[in-house]
Chain A
Amino acid sequence: MKTKDLAYIALFAAIVAVLGLLPPVPVPGIPVPITAQTLGVMLAGSVLGARRGGLALLAFLAVVAVGLPVLSGGRGGLGVFVGPSAGYLYSWPIAAFVIGLLTQLFWRRYNLAWALVANLIGGLLVIYAIGIPFTSLYADIPLWTSFTGAFAFIPGDVVKAVAASLVAVAVHKAYPVIDLPTRRATAG
C-alpha cells in the first residue's frame, strides 16, 4: 500500500466524520437517528474499493474511539461502542469492504445500475444483517421487533444509496481512484 493510498483512506475517514457534523433527523420511537454518515460508508467503498474503503471506516472508528465527537449528533468516545446500536457501527467497515468488492467486480461496466446494486447490497443488506441481530441480542428483544424498528430507516437508506450511486458514477468518470484492472494488465 502506497502513501497515496493512506491519504485516500484518511480522506474518506474525514468525509464520514464531516457527514456526521450535519444535524441528524431523529425518528420518533427509535433511539437511532437518520444520519448522512452511511452515505460516507457507501462512497468510501464505491470510490476507494474494498481494502481502502474498509480501512477508511476503521480509521474513522479509531478517531471516534479516541474521543472525538464526530459520530452524528456529536457522539463519540468509547461509550458508543457498547450501546445497543453499536452493531451498526461495527458493520460500517464490513459494509464499505463489501461495496468496494462489488464495485471492483463491476468496474469495467460500472454505471448507475451496477453502482446501485453494490450500494444496496453493501449499504443496506450488510448493515442491517449485522445491526439488527446485534440490537436484538444486546437489548434482549425479539429479532422481529428489532427488524420492524429498523424498518423506518429503509426509505432513507434507499435514497442515500441512490445519491451515493449517482456521485460514485460521476467520480468514476471524473477521477477514478480504483485502477486494478489496467494496472494488473500492464504489470502482468
Chain B
Amino acid sequence: MTGVFAVAPALPLHTAGPYVAAAYIVFVALILIYVAIMARKQRRTERELAQLRRDLHLPDQVRPADERAPEGRPQTELPQERIA
C-alpha cells in the first residue's frame, strides 16, 4: 500500500481534500446503508421461511449432500446398526 501512495501524484489534500473525501464517503455510505437495509429484509424473509417450515411441520434445514457425508466416508441413509 505504501508503494501505491509513493507513485501517486502529489495530492493537495490540505485544501480540497476534505470535500473530495466527503463526496466519496457519501457514495460509500449510501451503498452501505442500502446493503444494510437489504440484509435486514433478507433476515426477515429467512424468519418467515423458518416460521412457514414450523407451521408445515417440515425439518428446519435440508442439509446439502456434502454436509451429510464427510469426505472419504460412504453416504448412506441406512442406520448404523443395519450396516453392521
Query: Do chains A and B stick together as partners?
Result: no
Hey, which bits of chain A sit against chain B, CB under 8 A? none
